[in-house]
A and B are shown apart, each in its own frame.
Chain A
Amino acid sequence: MAGSALKRLMAEYKQLTLNPPEGIVAGPVNEDNFFEWEALITGPEDTCFEGGVFPARLTFPSDYPLSPPKMKFSCDIFHPNIYADGRVCISILHAPGDDPMGYESSAERWSPVQSVEKILLSVVSMLAEPNDESAANVDAAKTWREDREKFNDIAHSTVRKSIGL
């Protein structure tokens, strides 16, 4: 079980380095420990997050891939599906059985078929299209729904902050 978690993470790391998907960089923080990853996600084009580079931390459980990893942005990001502390709330990161928002069907949940790459791609699409029905950050969801301009302004400022301007 354990050795297989390590092997799988190494395989995924190799895969991500050989064929990196566009706009995503990810790898272990420290090659001694493959269970802590750092990822850099660029904001998808033609959205209010365009041009930003957002760092995130992925923490894998020792029974990965049977249980999902946890993902947390290490920068400030104002988004309906990201908790104020940076934790990402998307259904594929939830193990079947725990449902913080109480409506996800088990078909959208974590399964060993998912991978780091798929998670990161889902996060990119989540940045592009927030799901305001299951808001992790209610303020952000409200702003997104009612005052899109203000939301875009905040997003632009996080983008500028993320690239150090």
Chain B
Amino acid sequence: MRSGLIGIGSLALSIGVVANAYLQKKQFYPSVVYLTKSSPSMAVLYIQAFVFVIMMWEIACKLFFGTLRAAEMEHLIERSWYALTETCLAFTVFRDDFSPRFVAMFTLLLFLKCFHWLAEDRVDYMERSPLISGLFHVRVILLLTVLGCADGYLINHAYHLTLNKGATVQLVFGFEYAILLTAIVHIFVKYILHGIDIQSENPWENKAVYLLYSELVLGFIKVVLYILFLVIMIKVHTFPLFAIRPMYLAIRTFKKALNDVILSRRAINNMNTLYPDATPEELAAGDVCIICREDMVASSKKLPCGHIFHTSCLRSWFQRQQTCPTCRLDILRPPTPSRPTPQPQPAAAADAPQPPPFFPGWQPPQQPAVSTTSPPPTMPSPPPSGAAPGAATPAFMMPPFMMPFSVPLPSPPVGFSGLSDDELRRMEGDERQAVEARIQVLRNVHTLLDAAIVQLNQYSSVAGPPTVSSSAPSSVATATVTSTQTPISSPASQAPAQSAGPASPEEGATASEPTSPDSPSSSENSEMSEIRRRRLEKFKTETEKPETTKS
């Protein structure tokens, strides 16, 4: 009622203004000039234009949507605020081209954007409402066609203008309409999918997958468009601040779609490989699928815990969580221990830095041959007495000392990056299993350290006269590194290059620290050899101790 009054009032005012001008000037052209020169009459005409826009809006809404639902209205208002602020930001970038025509273009853009949002809401509503009338379909198809044509035409317009006149504001418009066109395509795909779903009696299993993929593809196109726009805008104008928020949203949506696709693929994969199909007897016995509350018909899966679900229901649930919906059994955990382990294994092996083949006799331990879950292999036997510092052996005696290394080392304590979330979680808790897993890893660390010590002992004994100057070692690992490092590096006089060399994977962290205090600066050889001897003796006791504790 009130809006009607405002409309009539505005119409009367503009008629008055135009009539006044015409009465004064008597002729068409002078009265137009008069109108454009007089600010009050222009203001009245602008208001009239605004009223026209609102009337158009009302008519189009009635035509395409009927009455808007409360939720749609809410979405619309929320989004238009963002769109308005962004439009104002865009105005600041293009303040030189600011003109009524420019404002009109932006109004049109906003107008069309609103319709796109409403169309999207409408199509989403399809999956919420039990009854979809024929009118609904007619409206949606009409709306999508009109919007698609409008977008196409405006893109074309902007493209030609840009070609003819160079980069102007039309660049922004062309780009915005391109984005809107992708939105239309997306809505249309959704509409078709929902339409097929409604037609069929049973829920359509693969719809979710198609939806996901369409989202992924269109999300990708959008991201590419935004990046392209950003690059072009930075080149010809300035940084398009107003495009940042939608761009961020597009990237986030794309990332989410990608993630969803990955999870979904994994879920589908699990479904197909891990769980047996439910047998007809089981189907007959179980009454309904607890997820959708529908009768058990064909294509159901049985989880290790014995609960049966529809394949499609289970798949969508597994995208969120890998537990049984009924008893919350972690389906990736105990009943299928064979599956989760092989996955992280190669990753861990790849992650572990392979020590450079620095020493002539060095053989990288055959990690893949040993599994993390197997009990730690027996300690490589402590060095033969020949390796004792007192009887430093010449280099040609090396082959015999490499013997212990042929014993495969346990795979390194997989770096936490190599562990899957699931495995980490398994190590985290304080139930028996978790504690065992932790001890297992510690044992692996221990074994590796032991092996490394033995190895280094042998290197040092092989590498010639000791030349170490340092105080008593603080820890086993640092000590091993220092003691081997110095004798090797001093003759070759390239300490920095070699400092990281002999460190086996888990010593990488400690390898760097001992270099500074231990640089081979001193020449008090006799004192050093004494220290070194004591240290090596200490190692021997250290390496023997763990064996007793372990066995």
Contacts and interface: CB of A to CB of B under 8 A. Distances in A.
Interface of A: 1-8, 10-12, 31-35, 62-63, 65-67, 95-96, 106-107, 111-113
Contacts of A6: 127-130
Interface string B122-147: 00110111110000000000000000
Given A2-B194, A7-B203, A66 B317 contact: yes
Nearest to B328: A107
B292 interface: yes
A112 B290 contact: yes
A33 B313 CA distance: 22
A31 to B, nearest CB: 8
A5 B317 CA distance: 13
B294 A11 contact: yes
B204 A3 contact: yes
A31 B128 CA distance: 11
Interface stretch (B173-181, B319-327, B371-379): B319-327
- 10 tightest A-B CB contacts, nearest first: A2-B127, A1-B208, A112-B291, A4-B203, A11-B293, A3-B203, A112-B325, A4-B292, A3-B197, A111-B325
Contacts of A34: 128-130
A64 to B, nearest CB: 10
A19 B175 CA distance: 56
A88 B503 CA distance: 57
A113 B326 contact: yes
Given A2-B194, A107-B328, A8 B292 contact: yes
Contact of A66 (B125, B129, B294, B320): B320
B198 A3 contact: yes
Nearest to B128: A35
A8 B316 CA distance: 15
A32 B131 contact: yes
B207 interface: yes
Nearest to A32: B129
Contacts of A62: 124, 127-128
Contacts of B130: 6, 10, 31-32, 34
B290 A5 contact: no
Contacts of A31: 130
B394 to A, nearest CB: 63
Contacts of A4: 203, 291-292, 294, 312-313
A12 B127 contact: no
Interface in B290-320: 290-294, 312-313, 316-317, 320
A7 B127 contact: no
Interface string B321-357: 1010110100000000000000000000000000000
B293 to A, nearest CB: 4
